[in-house]
Amino acid sequence: MEKYIELKCNICGKQLKRKLKQYKYDCKKYGLNYKPVCRAGCGGSQIVSCKVCGDKFKKRNVDIKKTINNFCSHSCSASFNNKKINRTKTGSKNVNCRICGKQLTVSKHASGSTCKKCKPKTRIRKTKQQLIIKRNCIICNNELLVKISSVKKYCDSCRKKRHQENGKIAGKLSAAKQVRRSKNEIYFAELCKKHFSLVSTNEPFFDSKYGKWDADVIIHEHKLAVLWNGVWHYKQVRKNHSLKQVQARDKIKLDVIKANGYSVYIVKDMGKYNKKFVEEEFNKLIKNT
């Protein structure tokens, strides 16, 4: 069982318990300067000056009571302690700082040194100067001045155009893959299949250089493609829904269908499932064909 000893805090007078082994060790380490404290932050801190360089800094009252000398850093404490050591044994020497002339203690093998305050002035990293070469833009053939390690192949204007073209291609490919069907559209397709002989729904039938495109209902005998457009084609439905992107896809789809020799019939479906609305739109289609 570990033994404890009851003590009083030297600052606030609060009673505290310490291990007997720890108490003996602290007494041996700090000697007469040791005065027990309830916690590290008891009594706060105060501004003291370094014994070597004279810089002022904050130090806890607990640490001030434990130590005799105050040092702002390890280098200052090392330089203070080095003065007491026999220099012939350690192989050190005294030199002056090459910038401000302050006396320093360094190794006997050191050619020169700088003090703590002057070191940041000399620590400037010298980057390798890269060779600049001439290169022509792949698209417009304009001359570019680039570093030898650079991979730049396009000028600024051509690079922007290239990004825009890549975005259009990606939009067209994603539009060709997406398929969305509502209940009204499904009921409309069933009515068309009963009335017409050759009808296909959501079939990638129309060819383009970016792949095949589909239509909601395709009536082959009349070369007619029906596009059943819901609310999201005309209004902003939710935050992650891009109305401009949807409308841009619709324009591309219209051009592709017309290029394949088919005419387009658009139905605006702005509401919920309604049989009467679907039947009315179907009757309008029959009158127009």
pLDDT in tens, 252-263: 899 999 999 999
Query: What pLDDT does residue 175 have?
Result: 54
Instruction: Enter the CATH code of domain 178-288.
Output: 3.40.960.10
Given pLDDT bands bounded at 50, 70 and 90, which one contains residue 41?
Answer: low
Which of 110-114, 135-139, 145-149, 224-228 is the least confident region?
Answer: 110-114
Exposed (0-12), middle (13-18) or buried (19+): which is 184, by Cβ within 10 Å?
A: buried
Q: Is 93 helix (H, G, I), strand (E, B) or coil?
A: strand
Give the list of residues 6+ apart from residue 285 with CB closer than 8 angstroms, or none: 192, 226, 265
Q: What is the DSSP letter of 38?
A: S
- What is the mean pLDDT of the segment spanning 102-123? 71
Judge whether residue 205 has pLDDT over 80. Answer: yes
- What is the mean pLDDT of the segment spanning 131-137? 84
- Cβ burial 83-92 (10 Å sphere, 16+ → b, else e): eeeeeeeeeb
Judge whether residue 2 has pLDDT over 60. Answer: yes
d(Cα 215, Cα 224) in Å, to the nearest integer?
10
Query: What pLDDT does residue 122 have?
Result: 42
Given pLDDT bands bounded at 50, 70 and 90, which one contains residue 235?
Answer: confident
Which of 51-55, 179-183, 196-200 is the least confident region?
Answer: 179-183
Query: What pLDDT does residue 226 have?
Result: 93
- What is the mean pLDDT of the segment spanning 70-79? 82
Query: What pLDDT does residue 11 have?
Result: 77
Which of 59-68, 137-146, 230-239, 276-285 is the least confident region?
Answer: 59-68
Q: Helix crossing, 243-259 with 156-177: angle to 10°?
A: 80
Judge whether residue 201 has pLDDT over 50. Answer: yes
Q: 50 with 70: CB under 8 angstroms?
A: yes
Q: Average model confidence (pLDDT) for the chain?
A: 81
Give the list of residues 6+ apart from residue 220 with CB closer than 8 angstroms, or none: 198, 199, 200
Q: 8 with 35: CB under 8 angstroms?
A: no
H helix intervals, 151-220? 156-177, 183-195
Pairing of strands 56-60, 45-49: antiparallel
Query: What pLDDT does residue 123 have?
Result: 44
Which of 47-56, 109-118, 160-169, 239-248 is the least confident region?
Answer: 109-118
Query: What pLDDT does residue 283 have?
Result: 92
Structural domain spans, the chain: 4-69, 85-118, 133-171, 178-288
Query: What pLDDT does residue 219 have?
Result: 93
Query: H or E stretch including 112?
Result: none
- What is the mean pLDDT of the segment spanning 202-211? 86
Query: What pLDDT does residue 97 have?
Result: 84
Query: What pLDDT does residue 49 have?
Result: 87
